Structures are given as structure tokens and as C-alpha cells.
Amino acid sequence: MANRLRFPLEVVEAVVGVWGTERTGIRVSPTGSFNDMVDADPVATYGALAEELQGIGIAFMEVVEDSFQGNHVEGRPEPVIDAIRAGFHRSYLGNGAYTAEEARQRIKAGRCELVSFGRPFISNPDLPERIRRGAPLNEWDSATFYGGDERGYTDYPTLDEIG
Ligand SMILES: Cc1cc2nc3c(=O)[nH]c(=O)nc-3n(C[C@H](O)[C@H](O)[C@H](O)COP(=O)(O)O)c2cc1C
């Protein structure tokens, strides 16, 4: 295990050396299966990583709990989340397929402190304001995600532009 954690911990230590613990966070994908990369025992691996990161004292862990790019468990990996939260007591950001409603529920239930959004932010430049107002969201167009021209990059309308 120590050898498996060596690379991320060396990177974190190097970053902390420059920016300090309060400005350092890490993003992990314990159950991701993108490019056929799968961890056989994410509870053990990420529980141990979480403890080490708690010891270093970084500000947050962002955890990709679900991914449209591949996740090898159904739904959010609650045992992995438990293991990370048992080891790491600073801010935990949940990520992956969140709606505003689920984000509120899970923060309230103590499953995370914060939630980050990917695709809804791409298609809604004013996402926080829309969530605040309970306004409908623009749908994203995955065909324009990875390059091309300004379409899908600068042309999703804000609420004010919709009128
Ligand atoms: C166009 C696009 C590019 C992305 N690139 C990366 C990346 O380079 N590294 C990464 O860790 N995640 C990447 N992601 C994943 C997002 O950070 C996020 O984990 C994912 O979209 C799940 O959140 P969502 O369901 O709110 O979109 C990308 C997502 C999209 C849509």
C-alpha cells in the first residue's frame, strides 16, 4: 500500500511545499474505469490515502463518485465515501452526476461539505444563480464538449439573455 500511495503523496507534498496546506486539494476517482484503469480495492486504497492526506493537512478532497466516462460500481460508492470520510476530516467535495437537489440532500445528510458540477456548468454560465432561483437549466450538447468552434463554448445563454 505504501508504494501505491507514494506517487500521489510525493506530488501533494511538493505542492504543499509551494502553496501551503490551506491552498492544496486533491481530486480522486476511486471507482473510475476510464481507459480501463480500475482499482480492485478502492475502500482500502482510498481509505489509506485519506488518512495520509489528513496527516499532511490539505484543505480538501474532491471525489468523483460517479462518471459518465466510466464507473465500475452502480450509483455512488457509499463504502468508499465512508472510508474517505473516516480518514479525512477536512472538506469533502462530491462530484459526478449531481443535481442541485441531490447536492442539497447529501450536504444536509453529512455525506459531503461541498459539491462540484461539470456538465451543468458547461451549459449554464450562470449556474449558481439558476440554482439559487430554482430556475430551469439549459441542456448540454455533448457533441460540442471536446473542441470545435465557439458552439458549446461561448453561446449557452444566461437567464438574462433568455429574458
Ligand atoms: C468536456 C469535459 C472535459 C473533462 N475533462 C476532464 C479532465 O481533463 N480531467 C478530469 O479529471 N475530469 C474531466 N472531466 C470530468 C468532470 O470534471 C466531472 O468529473 C464530470 O463531468 C462529472 O461531473 P458532472 O456529472 O457534473 O458533469 C471532464 C468533463 C467534461 C464534460
Report pTM.
0.95
With beta carbons less than 8 A apart as the criterion, state whether 145 and 151 touch.
Answer: no
Residue of 124, 127, 125, 123 lying closest to 115 (CA atoms): 127
pLDDT digits (tens, 9 = 90+) for 5-23: 999 999 999 999 999 999 9
Mean pLDDT of 63-75: 90
Cα separation, 124 vs 152, whole angstroms:
10
Ligand 1 centroid to Cα of residue 118, in Å, is 6
pLDDT digits (tens, 9 = 90+) for 125-161: 999 999 999 999 999 999 999 989 999 999 999 999 9
pLDDT digits (tens, 9 = 90+) for 98-112: 999 999 999 999 999
Burial 3-36 (b: 16+ CB within 10 A, else e): eebeeebeebeebbeeeeeeebbbebbbbbeeee
Ligand 1 pocket: which of 27, 29, 34, 64 to mutate (most atoms within 8 A of CB): 64
CA distances 58 to 70, 154, 161, Å, are: 27, 34, 40
Residue of 71, 81, 11 lying closest to 46 (CA atoms): 81
- Using CB distances shorter than 6 Å, the residues near ligand 1 are 64, 67, 95-98, 117-120, 122, 145-146
Given a cut of 90, is residue 72 above it in pLDDT?
Answer: no
> Domains in the chain, start-ordered, CATH in brackets?
2-7+21-162 (3.20.20.70)
Mean pLDDT of 38-52: 97
Ligand 1 centroid to Cα of residue 75, in Å, is 17
Arithmetic mean of pLDDT over the chain: 96
How many CB atoms neighbour CB 58 within 10 A? Answer: 24
